[in-house]
């Protein structure tokens, strides 16, 4: 019998509560606070002040029980809380898939952006409920909450893709998403 005929999880239905970002059945849950985002915001002073203050939760990731294994298709729901650090919108760490493979995001609630970077060109996709964002192989990706409510999306990705966070620290993401004086999104060069 081929190995894919003995899957680690059986065929199943998952229920997704889009209002709470909850999956049932549920797998691992991850909480990222401001202190977990060292070196990512432009203003190190603003980042340090936020860490020394209440060190707020920036985002949470709830996963399905589908494991990150070859041939599997894990899913996760990310909720980014609204806010900014030094004028830069709350965002995920961002990563590159070491095994370059595509990924799909589906916007569930709130307003956000999907920032992608291939090392030379940045791309920005506005995300909202019902938007499908496609991340091609080889493009690092970061999500940003550009609204006043939690921004939530579903991700589906190949289980063998892996997650390289060092790539973003080394190469940046090409653009930063700043909150303008009227609350609008202002995309500026990474070093700007």
Interface ranges with ligand S6P (CB under 6 A): 61, 76, 78, 92-95, 103, 141, 143, 155, 157, 163
Determine the Cα–Cα distance for residues 143 and 106; give it in Å rounded to an integer: 12
Alpha-carbon dihedral of residues 125, 128, 134, 137, nearest 10 degrees?
Answer: 70
Q: At closest approach, how far in Å is the CB of 1 from ligand S6P?
A: 30
- Among residues 20 and 163, whose Cβ is nearest to Zn ion? 163
**Spatial contact of 117 and 170, defined as CB atoms under 8 Å apart:** no
Alpha-carbon dihedral of residues 112, 118, 121, 124, nearest 10 degrees?
Answer: -10
Q: How many amino acids of this chain bind Zn ion (CB under 5 A)?
A: 1
Compute how many other C-beta atoms are within 10 angstroms of the C-beta atom of residue 12: 9
The binder of 72, among Zn ion, ligand S6P, none, by C-beta within 5 to 8 A per type, is: none
Q: At closest approach, how far in Å is the CB of 80 from ligand S6P?
A: 8
- Among residues 76 and 145, whose Cβ is nearest to ligand S6P? 76
* Touching Zn ion, residues 94-113 (CB under 5 A): 103
Q: At closest approach, how far in Å is the CB of 179 from ligand S6P?
A: 20
Strand order in the sheet with 132-135: 29-33, 57-63, 75-80, 151-156, 103-109, 132-135
Q: At closest approach, how far in Å is the CB of 139 from Zn ion?
A: 9
- Among residues 73 and 183, whose Cβ is nearest to ligand S6P? 73
The binder of 96, among Zn ion, ligand S6P, none, by C-beta within 5 to 8 A per type, is: none
- Nearest CA-CA partner of 125 in 106, 137, 109, 112: 112
Q: At closest approach, how far in Å is the CB of 118 from Zn ion?
A: 14
Residues that bind Zn ion (CB under 5 A): 103
């Amino acid at each position: 019998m081929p190995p894919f005929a003995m899957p680690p999880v059986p065929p199943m239905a998952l229920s997704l509560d889009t209002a709470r970002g909850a999956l049932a059945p549920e797998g691992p849950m991850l909480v990222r606070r401001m202190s977990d985002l060292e070196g990512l915001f432009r203003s190190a002073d603003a980042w340090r002040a936020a860490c020394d203050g209440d060190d707020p939760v920036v985002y949470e990731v709830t996963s399905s029980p589908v494991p990150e294994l070859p041939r599997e298709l894990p899913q996760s729901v990310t909720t980014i809380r609204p806010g900014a650090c030094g004028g830069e919108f709350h965002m995920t760490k961002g990563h590159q898939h070491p095994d370059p493979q595509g990924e799909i995001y589906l916007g569930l609630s709130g307003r956000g952006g999907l920032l992608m970077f291939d090392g030379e060109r940045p791309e920005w996709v506005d995300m909202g409920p019902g938007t499908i964002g496609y991340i091609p192989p080889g493009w690092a990706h970061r999500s940003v909450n550009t609204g006043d409510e939690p921004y939530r999306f579903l991700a589906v990705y190949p289980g063998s893709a892996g997650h390289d966070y060092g790539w973003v620290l080394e190469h940046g993401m090409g653009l930063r998403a700043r909150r303008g004086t009227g609350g609008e999104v202002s995309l500026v060069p990474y070093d700007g």
